[in-house]
Amino acid sequence: MYKLIYWPFLPGRGEFVRLVLEELGVPYDDVARRPEAEGGGASVVSGHLYGQGDLMPGFAPPYLIDGDLTVAQMPAICHYLGLRHGRVPADEGLRARALQLQLTIADVISEAHATHHPLSSGLYYEDQKDEALRAAATFREQRLPKWIAFFERALQRVGQTFLLGGEISYADLGLFQLVEGLCYALPNASRHLLDGAPRVTALHQQVGDRPRLAAYLRSERRIAFNEHGIFRRYPELDAAD
């Protein structure tokens, strides 16, 4: 059984991996979410940070453990699972494209995090609020429209529901979770932009309606967004209603 090691109290980058595992329908042990008495808790994650512990080193979570192998870096984990379960196309160009798209999603994730931590992840939000106001305004007004338009164009070019065509891939799950996170963190700015992105909106709807994912999203395995993760709702960082 796969083991996933990720912070137990926030969705973060771990959630992009969970969505792939849930859509595949494979069992996995979400180790840190077990009670501490059963070997869970945040200390499991911190014990492996920066390559400490007895795993093949990965710098930061999420970590996926498959037997003796540890895979870190969210896009690499999703790609590994896609290949391992035959859920990325056989065509090498399309495989590279799937990874490219997930890496692009990872770039947006980093920019979204930088809206509330523009100076450093090592400082509290409260220590960088003035800079965050400026960073969030630039993200909302300049960067986010470009990212959303990019994914809308990618879907338009393919001319089908999903980013690689008719078959769903991990990149579609990634785009779903990105939209979820943006709508949580910046509801006003996101609503406005998604109104002009019908293909991205339709993909989000279709992914969320898939039976396994819909069941997962309703389950207690799904961790709600909160102000510890990447996508945080600080109303002062959003656009006016």
Of 46 and 206, which has the nearer Cβ to ligand GSH? 46
**Residue 134: CA atoms inside 13 Å, Cβ hemisphere, count?**
5
Cα dihedral 76, 216, 173, 86, rounded to 10, equals 60
Residue 82 engages ligand GSH in binding (rule: CB under 6 A): no
- The letter for the amino acid at 79 is H
Shortest spacing between CB 117 and ligand GSH, in angstroms: 11
One-character DSSP codes across 10-38:
--TTHHHHHHHHHHHT--EEEGGGS-GGG
Of 17 and 193, which has the nearer Cβ to ligand GSH? 17
Query: In whole angstroms, what is the distance from residue 210 CA to residue 232 CA?
Result: 26
Residue 74 engages ligand GSH in binding (rule: CB under 6 A): yes
Binding mask 83-112 for ligand GSH (x = CB under 6 A): -----------------------x------
Residue 181 engages ligand GSH in binding (rule: CB under 6 A): no
Residue 190: both structure tokens together: 């996101």
Out of 34, 53, 55, 60, name the contact with ligand GSH by CB under 6 A: 60
Of 51 and 196, which has the nearer Cβ to ligand GSH? 51
Task: Tell me how many residues contact ligand GSH (CB under 6 A).
Answer: 8
Q: At what angle do helices 198-209 and 170-185 cross, to 10 degrees?
A: 110
List residues binding ligand GSH (CB under 6 A).
12-13, 60-62, 73-74, 106
